[in-house]
C-alpha cells in the first residue's frame, strides 16, 4: 500500500484551501445580489411584502416622521400630511446616501384606518409597488393634529 507523505498531504490541503477561498471570493463577488421581496404563499399581497432579504450593506433607520409642512405648520388634510411625510423621508434618505428604492421595511401609524386608501395612493408615487417593502399599519393616537407618522428602514449595498 502506497502511503502519501505528510508533505503531500500538506500540499494537497493547501491547494484545497486556496481553491475553496478562490471559489468563495468569486461567489461573493458575483453575488452582489439585490434585495428579495418574498411572501409565504408566493403571491404578492396588496401593497406590502411579508419577507425582505438584503445583501450586506449600510442599514439606515429613519425614525417616525409626521406631516408638518416645510414652514412647520400642520395641514388639516390627511393627504397633504402623507405627501409632506414622504417628502421628508426622501430628504432623510438622501442625506444618508439612499433613495426610496432602498427601503426594505416601513411602518405606518394613522389615527383613522379609513384613511388607508389615500395613504396607499400617495405612497405609490414614492415607493416601488412592484417590489414593495415589508410593512406594518397601526391605528394609533398621535400627538396634536398629526394624522400620520411613518418610519422606515433602508439598506444600501456597500
Q: Could you say which DSSP state residue 142 is in?
A: -
CA dihedral defined by 31, 37, 41, 47, rounded to 10 degrees? Answer: -170
Spans of all domains in the chain: 1-31, 36-157
Helix (H) or strand (E) holding 86: helix 78-95
Is pLDDT of 23 > 50?
no
- In tens, the pLDDT along 106-149 reads 999 999 999 999 999 999 999 988 888 888 999 889 988 999 99
Three cell numbers, residue 65: 416622521
Q: In the CATH scheme, what is the code of domain 36-157?
A: 3.30.1330.40
Asked if residues 98 and 69 have their Cβ atoms less than 8 Å apart, the reply is no
Amino acid at each position: 500500500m502506497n502511503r502519501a507523505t505528510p508533505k503531500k498531504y500538506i500540499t494537497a490541503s493547501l491547494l484545497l484551501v486556496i481553491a475553496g477561498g478562490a471559489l468563495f471570493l468569486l461567489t461573493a463577488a458575483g453575488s452582489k445580489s439585490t434585495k428579495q421581496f418574498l411572501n409565504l404563499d408566493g403571491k404578492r399581497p396588496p401593497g406590502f411584502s411579508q419577507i425582505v432579504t438584503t445583501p450586506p450593506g449600510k442599514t439606515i433607520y429613519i425614525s417616525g416622521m409626521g406631516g408638518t409642512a416645510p414652514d412647520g405648520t400642520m395641514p388639516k388634510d390627511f393627504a397633504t400630511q402623507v405627501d409632506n411625510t414622504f417628502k421628508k423621508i426622501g430628504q432623510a434618505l438622501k442625506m444618508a446616501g439612499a433613495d426610496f428604492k432602498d427601503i426594505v421595511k416601513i411602518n405606518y401609524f394613522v389615527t383613522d384606518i379609513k384613511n388607508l386608501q389615500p395613504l396607499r395612493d400617495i405612497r405609490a408615487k414614492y415607493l416601488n409597488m412592484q417590489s414593495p417593502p415589508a410593512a406594518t399599519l397601526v391605528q394609533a393616537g398621535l400627538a396634536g393634529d398629526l394624522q400620520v407618522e411613518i418610519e422606515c428602514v433602508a439598506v444600501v449595498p456597500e
